[in-house]
Amino acid sequence: MKIMVSGTVQGVGFRPTVYRVAKKLGLRGFVLNKGSNVEIGLVNGAGNGDSVADFMDMLNEKLPPLAAIDKIEVKDEPVTGYDDFRILMSSEGRKTSVTPVDTAICDACIHELFDPADHRYLYPFINCTSCGARFSVIKNVPYDRVNTSMQEFQMCENCLTEYKDPMDRRFHAQTTSCPRCGPTYTLYDKNRSVIDARDPIRTFARLIDEGALGIAKSWGGMHLLGTFEQADRVRALYRRPSKPLAVMFRDVPAIEQHLNLTEHEERLLRSPQRPIVLLEKKSMLDSGDLAEISPGLSTVGVYVPYSGLHHVLFHHLKAHGILMTSANVPGEPMTVSNEEAFNLTADYFLLHNRAIVNRLDDSVVKCYGARNQFLRRSRGFVPTALTVPYTEQILSLGAMENVSSSISKDGKLYTSQYIGSTFHYPTLEFLAAGTEQLLNLLGLAMEDIDAIGVDVHPGYATKRYGKSLAEEYSIELVPVQHHWAHAAALMLDNGVEEVMALTLDGTGYGLDKKAWGGELLFANYYSFERVGSLEEIPLIGGEMAIRDPRRLLFAVYSLLSREHDASRWVSDPEADIMAKLMRTAPLTSSFGRVLDALACYLGICQRMTYDGEPAMKLERYLARGEHTYAFETSVDAADRKIVRTLPLFDQLADYRISTEQEKADIAYSFVETLLQELLEIAADVCESTGVQTIGITGGVSYDLPIVSMAERLVKEKGFTFLTHDRIPNGDGGISVGQNVIVGGTFKG
């Protein structure tokens, strides 16, 4: 009989496990990779029924840690001609699922890495069947060496022996290599002169300890490295005046010296996916070495070594933690090629000679209790699939910022790696390349796509790209409203089919052509109703009001006829210009903009220098505030309920605020009042329709004190509260939401 197994079954040590189990049970037959599945053939014989059941039981029991079986199909086809059990060469087959993810170096490999007697001692490309770079090096499926960038490196006799031995840890480890036959690192200075080709990592580590800035090539891209003291230099050179930088620590105990972490956060940090996790600083006043890493924020993004290079680097480094942040030309995706690396500003370049096939940024997660809030879902998680309730092949392209693309096939939804913000042409090119590669790995061509989902915003580059594909291949283009897509992503994440979604973010294009962002959507996959929103306020100068939140305050206080309070924020000439611009300013119901204005008013953030900065800086105030100020507002009824925000700003201006705690309490009281009103509306609609679940989504839901307030208020009203766990809350999740909504159009 033949057994077809689909899921994460290639490149994770699945076939060797099948082999060992079959051998143990004395079964005859074969195992082979077929497309992206694994086929097992068992010779029929006496007592076969029992042994097949035993076989499946034992296989499940011995399943390698990274393998995941999604589906098993058993066919009663006779298998003959085998007097033993064998692992056969891959055959081309139907491609149904994709490659395994990039996985942190396993403990067994780390043990060898630091064993002076091992021939892979301090070898930075060490890996085995259970670990290493995979998605970042794969060109095509099936996952075999010839289809990866390791193809150029011919295995030496030793490696080949391990590769062929079913009992070896490196049996069929497609990217296996050793110092004799594998890729190598070389250290260059900024003039591209080779500094050290013999012990480049040791020399690089010494230079970093001494204060140099370095570029190091890893699995899926380049990182910029330096000691904490180099933060100012990085900020100046890379035009990141206050954007938080990521830090890699030697190990978890080194992290615990500086930051608080929960058990869940520790597990995540040590997991094979090994994302960057945002952790809370022990003390805001005395964050010591870390003060300049994330100015004004209560958290720092940290991770621990995942590649052989990182482990070897820390072996040589004196520092227990270093800046290690994506290296890119400002506005462009992370640098991947050696040639382009030299366009980056740094003192030294530690580069290897293996091509990066698929750019893969580090994933970034913030934990709400034991739930993962993905700011960026990439290395370690891509391309794992989610199950969706439709079988059409749908491509969806996201919105404008933090874009990803998603493709559905056979009831599974695959999302690309993190792409970035498509204001910039190179990022749009990356979106096209990433989408094409995902199609390829799924065995699909554009001709196979049934529909393309895009945002309704007419100006988004992703929409133009989707439209051009739709025209070229005569595919239906389905525009999906931004916040509905957020709500759909939240539903899929939680396995529910309808939700009252508190959809709070910066901006998304509304069906009335206005900028939405503080919305209560009663949604399922087929339709949605906007039952409530925040009052609209003018965005003076459009996008300019996002970077310069003083404009929001000027608008708010002008509308309240509090000229004195309005003019506090701007010079007289500015006030004249803004007053004129205000008449034609676009309107927004965005919750994010209200937070921006509040943060600006409280002196917490006067200018936005990176996406979400004011709201992020407000977060630590909300975290220690209490509802001690009595704010009151009202709700207007129109086609929807509108929660008024101006009365809150009116009351705000009457308070005298001097201490940091007063700022915290004011911020908390202000925000909770808004949430109370929105959730009051939500509860009314839920009660009249019988819906039990109220959830939160959108970029504002990365602000954990806000999520926590919402959860408490929702539960007090007796409803179930939903938040994200697997799909990004922000625009990284939009392509997922678009996909399921477009999928819904094929039903009925």
The helix (H) or strand (E) run that includes residue 643 is strand 641-643
Residue 322 CB, shortest distance to Zn ion, in Å, is 24
305 preceded by a cis bond (ω within 30 of 0): no
Burial class (CB in 10 A: 0-12, 13-18, 19+), 245: buried
Comparison of 106 and 150: residue with beta carbon closer to Zn ion: 106
Comparison of 181 and 446: residue with beta carbon closer to Zn ion: 181
What is the distance, to the nearest Å, from the Cα of residue 376 to the centroid of all Cα atoms in its chain? 2
Residue 158 CB, shortest distance to Zn ion, in Å, is 5
Q: Which of 745, 736, 683, 742 is nearest to 487 (CA)?
A: 736
The 3-state DSSP class for residue 72 equals strand
Residue 164 CB, shortest distance to Zn ion, in Å, is 13
The answer to whether residues 501 and 516 touch, using CB atoms and an 8 Å cutoff, is no
Comparison of 108 and 194: residue with beta carbon closer to Zn ion: 108
Active site residue 15: yes
Comparison of 106 and 247: residue with beta carbon closer to Zn ion: 106
Residue 128 CB, shortest distance to Zn ion, in Å, is 3
Give the whole-angstrom CA distance, residue 337 versus residue 353.
Answer: 10
Give the whole-angstrom CA distance, residue 566 versus residue 553.
Answer: 6
Residue 65 CB, shortest distance to Zn ion, in Å, is 11
Around Cβ 49, how many Cβ atoms within 10 Å?
9
Binding site for Zn ion (CB under 5 A): 106, 109, 128, 130-131, 156, 159, 178, 180-181
Active site residue 354: no
Comparison of 182 and 695: residue with beta carbon closer to Zn ion: 182
Residue 105 CB, shortest distance to Zn ion, in Å, is 6
Give the whole-angstrom CA distance, residue 117 versus residue 730.
Answer: 48
586 preceded by a cis bond (ω within 30 of 0): no
Helix 550-559 vs helix 572-582: angle between axes, to the nearest 10 degrees? 70
Give the whole-angstrom CA distance, residue 598 versus residue 24.
Answer: 67
Neighbouring C-alpha atoms within 13 Å toward the C-beta of 242? 15
Comparison of 149 and 462: residue with beta carbon closer to Zn ion: 149
HEC profile of 673-701: HHHHHHHHHHHHHHHHHCCCEEEEECHHH
Comparison of 307 and 415: residue with beta carbon closer to Zn ion: 307
The answer to whether residues 340 and 348 touch, using CB atoms and an 8 Å cutoff, is no
Residue 458 CB, shortest distance to Zn ion, in Å, is 49
Give the whole-angstrom CA distance, residue 710 versus residue 703.
Answer: 11
- Select which of 33, 338, 372, 494 is catalytic: 33
Comparison of 131 and 642: residue with beta carbon closer to Zn ion: 131
Residue 273 CB, shortest distance to Zn ion, in Å, is 15
Give the whole-angstrom CA distance, residue 65 versus residue 128.
Answer: 13
Give the whole-angstrom CA distance, residue 479 versus residue 738.
Answer: 8
Q: What are phi and psi of 39, to 5 degrees?
A: -105, 135
- Which of the residues are catalytic? 15, 33
